[in-house]
């Protein structure tokens, strides 16, 4: 679908700002001129400027017109990737993680720590309708077990959408799970034995370390670039050296960096995986939340041998509380299905049916379009506030999708201490240390930009900036 | 609550039949006499006889009155418990289990294999109401994550009911899970390391073996009496000898025997567990479905040291498809909670809220009362049909609750072959072999009496009987 006209015009202006053709502080053409030169109506010209203003890139000055306020060129530096590890680590459970995520549902805290969508971006009313429909149409109002594989219509809808990420799967390739963590747990259990070594990104989603620990696995962290993702050349050498049996990577907008692996790297990664015949568990939970023109493809789309186990869920895009995820486990299909039977028998019937209905009616695409726009805008506004309030030596990543960005502060700052100080002011953040098994990232933190930008968020980021200054 | 008058009268007659004071074939007092002698109305007297007729114990003969038709004394012999094992076994995945439970949701098969409640016994309409209420009252219509521990109201209701099984727990002792299998998985993961030995009943629920395998555990099977449950004297010696780290037992109406462990054995079992300071994972999923006067107590009610991890769910009593279970993991509480965070983050929000509301409104007790009566009647009718159609040397257990009974056939019968032959006639059963790791129980089978007794069930049991005869 073509973008609205006003967005097309706004994007051209944005590019000019980014390339510094129009510099910060410069005056933009009047609305009348913009309208005339672009052959658009006055109201479309206004909409284009409103759009850019909403993104925090331009500002109106009374009785004068619009001026350039910010350029993404002005953003802070990007952090450097970490050094490789000397050996694979036994996972040590971090009390810190429990501490940080303990307050997950508390409403009076500004939760920069949680990478979950805020209420306002979730399609509450439409979901309720879908659930009512599910109760009316499911045998025995959904009280019975769903099949082990999961709701047929939902699997069909997921298969239909696979074209968006370069896939061509059928409903029989898919297993529904209780959220993405459940999918990851089943896939990791299916591909490893206790004592095995697996590879994760560094920094990586702290839940993946915890999962590895609970399955008795060792973890090698692979240096991951804030822009291009996992260092695949290093990985190629590390797999035989450390006898890696499986990798869990998040190639699209990974957590916590927000990095997006280029398509050619995805292909190369799958080639490496196939060369050593090991498993790639691909967590694509943020894939639908891209800020660019198109949905990024998956590693799974290059998978000919069944070595890629794709995992995903609707927890980031529709309803975390429904706990509906899915996996396309390739050649591990039978094993994953059996593990699902052993560990949980089936996934809850009604949430699956409701989401299947939601997808079937084209509501998902419409909902995602709005959500992506909102998140992209939020991402920019957060970055701008960080630029304004944080010390100049702060580095931040440039997420191209998802919910989170990663900030590297002056080495003198300890972000766990910062976390504790911030919590006293009702602000929570995720300290960098929990995203690694090594004693690293102590001066880093993950900030979720899931909450819409407003005065409270602005003030909280300002407070964070002050706290950072104080700790220097 | 006192039983209805007609049931009190019926029970007295039932006792007389069982003690053979009134023998099979004997004529019962006329309705008029029964009314007069018991000081009850004619209609109450009729109700008492209808009740007994429904249970298959008496039958009306035209123009003559009621006659005794069956006594539980006449039931077939009880099977013998197995011999102890020489050593703990590595678990071998059984293709058989996948084969047997593959057709779980197929409607055109008479499923004696599935220990799940039939649609007709589930409170569909009331659950739908509870779900609507949950959507109206839960923040953001249930789209958000529930807390890690689970819905507060549901935990409160579960805690209130603990008085029924001799417990005195608070809502803070409980963790909600995605069904009972999820609770067992979390508890077993929390109490063992790969390579450890655990104890199960013999025969035991096949899912427990599969679970043990998937966690890399070895299993020692403990001889289990069809009437008294686990042989605790043997267990007392086996724990130090085999270095058992945890037991998973089903003391109330265990699956597949339907045995109920006497209360004094439960106490002794907890003493043994405490003596060696190991974990007892108590699966009480059938506990609410007793046929007697009172709910049996749990081992958990004797637990002072926190070594008992009680697991349960609403899958057998309200709605399997809701996947709502719970655990009271004693001193392993923190560990179980952390594992839940690592493996699934949270349980689906709305099903929990709906069941909490269902319980809160006293609907559960009312529903259970009807369900227990129906299941008890079904149990008797199935036993009577088995008595009629199966060979004389068949032994069957006497379930005092739950859904399943266990039949031991002539040693010449192979029940997996019987399973295959029966499936061709659209009947499925659970062959005994899948309830052990040893090459035993090949002439046994588990039959679920969950489906209401009717002509189709009667004919299917008759067909089974013929197939058994043919295989001799």
pLDDT in tens, B106-120: 668 888 988 888 888
Pair B303, B210 in one domain? yes
Helix (H, G, I), strand (E, B) or coil at A273: helix
With contacts defined as CB-CB under 8 Å, which chain A residues touch B364?
none
Mutate to test the interface with B, among A141, A336, A340 (most CBs of B within 10 A): A141
Q: Are residues B246 and B335 in the same domain?
A: yes
- Give the residue from B312, B337, B364 where a domain finishes: B364
How many structural domains does chain B have? 3
Chain segment B399-432, per-residue pLDDT in tens: 989 999 999 999 999 998 999 899 999 999 999 9
Q: Is B144–A122 a contact, with Cβ atoms under 8 angstroms apart?
A: yes
Same domain, A193 and A342: yes
Residue A87 lies in a domain: no
| Residue A172 neighbours by CB under 8 Å, 6+ apart | A149, A155
* Domain-embedded: residue B129: no
Interface of A with B in 187-206 (CB under 8 A): 189, 193-195
B465 assigned to some structural domain: yes
Q: Are residues A201 and A322 in the same domain?
A: yes
Element of type H or E holding B246: strand B244-249
Interface TM-score (ipTM) > 0.90: no
CA-based nearest distance B294→chain A, Å = 27
Tell me: do B66 and B52 sit in the same domain.
yes
**B178/A147 Cβ within 8 A:** no
Q: Could you list the pLDDT tens digit for every one of the 472 residues in chain A?
A: 456 888 888 888 888 887 777 887 888 888 888 888 888 898 898 889 988 888 888 888 888 888 888 776 655 667 777 777 667 665 554 567 767 766 555 668 888 988 888 888 899 889 999 999 999 999 989 999 999 999 999 999 999 989 888 888 999 999 999 999 999 999 999 999 989 999 999 999 988 998 998 888 999 999 999 888 999 999 999 999 999 999 999 999 989 998 899 999 999 999 999 999 999 999 999 999 999 888 999 999 999 999 999 999 999 999 999 999 999 999 999 999 999 988 888 999 999 999 999 999 888 888 999 999 999 999 989 998 998 899 989 999 889 899 999 999 999 999 989 998 999 999 999 999 999 888 889 999 999 999 999 999 999 999 999 999 998 8
Q: Nearest 5°: phi and psi at B200?
A: -125, 160
Q: Please say whether the beta carbons of A24 and A71 come within 8 A.
A: yes
In a domain, A282, yes or no: yes
- DSSP 8-state assignment for residue A408: E
- For residues B321 and B448, state if they share a domain: no
B213, A193 Cβ separation under 8 angstroms: no
The partner residue sitting opposite B145, judged by closest CB among A93, A320, A350, is: A320
Q: Are residues A250 and A169 in the same domain?
A: yes
Statement to judge: residues B188 and B336 lie in one domain: yes
Based on the fold, state whether residues A48 and A98 are members of the same structural domain: no
More confident residue, B95 or B154: B154
Report d(CA A416, CA A348) in Å as an integer: 38
A79 found inside a domain: no
Claim to verify: residue B355 and residue B371 sit in the same structural domain = no
Chain A contact present for B132, CB below 8 A: yes
A30-39, Cβ contacts within 8 angstroms, sequence gap of 24 or more: A30/A65, A31/A65, A34/A9, A38/A9
Chain A residues close to B131, C-beta within 8 Å: 131, 135, 350
Q: What is the CA radius of gyration of chain B?
A: 23
- A-chain residues near B213 (CB < 8 A): 342
Q: Return all residues near A33 (Cβ < 8 A) that are at least 6 apart.
A: none
- In angstroms, how far apart are the furthest CA atoms of chain A? 69
Point out the domain boundary residue: A296, A327, A362: A362
- Report yes or no: B95 at the A interface, CB cutoff 8 Å: no
Q: Which of A328, A362, A396 is the last residue of a domain?
A: A362
A60 in a structural domain? yes
Structural domain contains residue A211: yes
Do residue B306 and residue B384 come from a single domain? Answer: no
Within a 13 Å sphere around the CA of B213, how many CA atoms are in the beta-carbon half? 20
CB atoms B148 and A98 under 8 Å: no
Enclosing domain of residue A18: 5-73
Which pLDDT value is given to residue B14? 85
Size of interface A-B (CB pairs under 8 A): 202
Residue A136 is assigned to a structural domain of this protein: no
Whether A82 and chain B come into contact, CB under 8 Å, resolves to: no
**Residues B266-303: pLDDT tens digits?**
999 999 999 999 999 999 999 999 998 889 999 999 99
β-pair type (B308-313, B325-328): antiparallel
- CATH assignment at residue B55: 1.10.10.10
Task: Name, in order, each residue with C-beta under 8 angstroms of B273's C-beta and a sequence gap of 6 or more.
Answer: B247, B279, B280, B307, B308
Question: How far does A153 lie from chain B, in Å, by closest CA?
Answer: 16
Exposure string of B226-248, with b = 16+ CB inside 10 Å and e = fewer, is bbebbbbeebbebbeebebbbbb
Work out the minimum CA distance from A346 to partner chain B, whole angstroms.
8
CB of A128 within 8 Å of a chain B CB? The answer is yes
Query: Which residue in this structure is represented by tokens 């073509």?
Result: A2
Residue A421: closest CA among A387, A366, A471, A382: A471
Query: Do residue A321 and residue B142 have CB atoms under 8 angstroms apart?
Result: yes
Residue A106 sits at the chain B interface (C-beta within 8 Å): no
Give the separation between CA A387 and CA A57, rounded to whole angstroms. 13
User: B304 and B384: one domain?
Assistant: no
Mean pLDDT of chain A: 89
């Amino acid at each position: 679908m073509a973008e609205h006209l006003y967005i097309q015009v706004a994007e051209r202006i944005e590019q000019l700002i980014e390339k510094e053709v129009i510099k910060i502080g410069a005056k933009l053409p009047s609305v009348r001129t913009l309208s005339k030169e672009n052959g658009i109506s006055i109201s479309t010209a206004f909409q284009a400027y409103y759009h850019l203003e909403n993104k925090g890139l331009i500002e109106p000055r009374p009785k004068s017109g619009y001026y350039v306020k910010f350029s993404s060129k002005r953003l802070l530096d990007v952090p450097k990737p970490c050094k490789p590890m000397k050996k694979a680590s036994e996972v040590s459970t971090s009390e810190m993680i429990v501490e940080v995520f303990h307050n997950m549902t508390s409403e009076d805290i500004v939760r920069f720590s949680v990478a979950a969508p805020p209420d306002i971006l979730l399609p509450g009313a439409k979901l309720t309708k879908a659930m009512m429909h599910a109760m009316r149409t499911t045998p025995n109002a959904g009280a019975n077990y769903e099949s082990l594989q999961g709701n047929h219509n939902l699997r069909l809808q997921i298969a239909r959408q696979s074209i968006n990420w370069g896939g061509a799967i059928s409903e029989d390739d898919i297993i529904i799970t209780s959220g993405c963590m459940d999918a990851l747990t089943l896939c990791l259990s299916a591909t490893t034995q206790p004592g095995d070594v697996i590879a994760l990104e560094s920094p990586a989603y702290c839940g993946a370390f915890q999962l590895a620990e609970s399955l008795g696995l060792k973890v090698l962290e692979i240096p991951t670039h804030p822009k291009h993702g996992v260092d695949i050349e290093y990985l190629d050498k590390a797999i035989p050296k450390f006898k890696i049996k499986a990798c869990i990577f998040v190639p699209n907008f990974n957590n916590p960096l927000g990095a997006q692996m280029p398509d050619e790297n995805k292909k190369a990664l799958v080639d490496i995986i196939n060369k050593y015949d090991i498993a790639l568990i691909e967590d694509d939970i943020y894939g639908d939340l891209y800020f660019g023109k198109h949905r990024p493809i998956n590693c799974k789309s290059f998978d000919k041998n069944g070595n890629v186990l794709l995992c995903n869920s609707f927890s980031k895009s529709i309803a975390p509380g429904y706990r509906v995820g899915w996996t396309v486990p390739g050649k591990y299909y039978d094993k994953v299905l059996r593990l699902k039977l052993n560990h949980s028998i089936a996934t809850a019937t009604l949430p699956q049916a409701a989401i299947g209905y939601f997808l079937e009616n084209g509501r998902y695409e419409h909902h995602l379009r709005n959500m992506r726009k909102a998140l992209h805008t939020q991402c920019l506004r957060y970055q701008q506030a960080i630029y304004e309030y944080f010390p100049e030596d702060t580095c931040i990543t440039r997420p191209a999708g998802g919910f989170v960005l990663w900030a590297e502060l002056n080495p003198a700052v300890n972000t766990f201490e910062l976390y504790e100080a911030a919590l006293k002011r009702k602000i929570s953040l995720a300290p960098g240390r929990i995203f690694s098994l090594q004693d690293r990232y102590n001066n880093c933190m993950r900030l979720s930009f899931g909450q819409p930008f407003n005065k409270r968020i602005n003030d909280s980021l300002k407070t964070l900036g002050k706290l950072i200054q104080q700790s220097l």
